[in-house]
Amino acid sequence: MRWLLKVGAFKVLGTLPGGEAIYHFLQQKVTHSIAVTDERVSQKIQVGMEYLDFVCRVFNVQDFSGITHVNIGAGWMPTIPLLFYSVGFERQLLCDIRRHMRVGVVSDAICSFREVVSRERSVATRCKRMPPLIDPDVPLDTQFTQLGIRYITPYHI
């Protein structure tokens, strides 16, 4: 139900001039729904691990380098794409209607991801590499390209 309210609010705000900026402000300052926490990151990592376990079990895949991960509705915190990068995916396509990811949030997510993985042995043993820390002065798309990630937001103007 909360998700439907969120979608409704976003649709209403999307019709207003500056509505997207208002929506992001509300998320950041009022609802704190885009605050990066180790608990949120850990939960997303566990979901990602379930996906990986499923692919390994059903498709008998151990090497992910030849698989392209497509994420539709990428949202604001790319935890699962960070996990998939870490286990060896070379190509990922993140799609969304609007450009919700911000350099600061992604930077926080990477820091938290690295911290959580260092504590969770079952995840750490499956990771071949860690996503590098990002430079807040470099555009997000440039930094994603270095990770084999393409971030597409077709309706961004």
CA separation for the pair 70, 151 (Å, rounded)? 10
pLDDT at position 157 is 47
pLDDT at position 15 is 74
Q: Please list the rounded mean pLDDT of every run of 10 residues in the chain (157 residues).
A: 68 70 67 80 97 95 94 93 98 91 93 97 96 93 96 73
- Residue 17 has which token pair? 């001039």
CA distances from 127 to 49, 57, 144, 154 (A): 11, 18, 18, 31
CA separation for the pair 99, 55 (Å, rounded)? 29
CA separation for the pair 85, 143 (Å, rounded)? 13
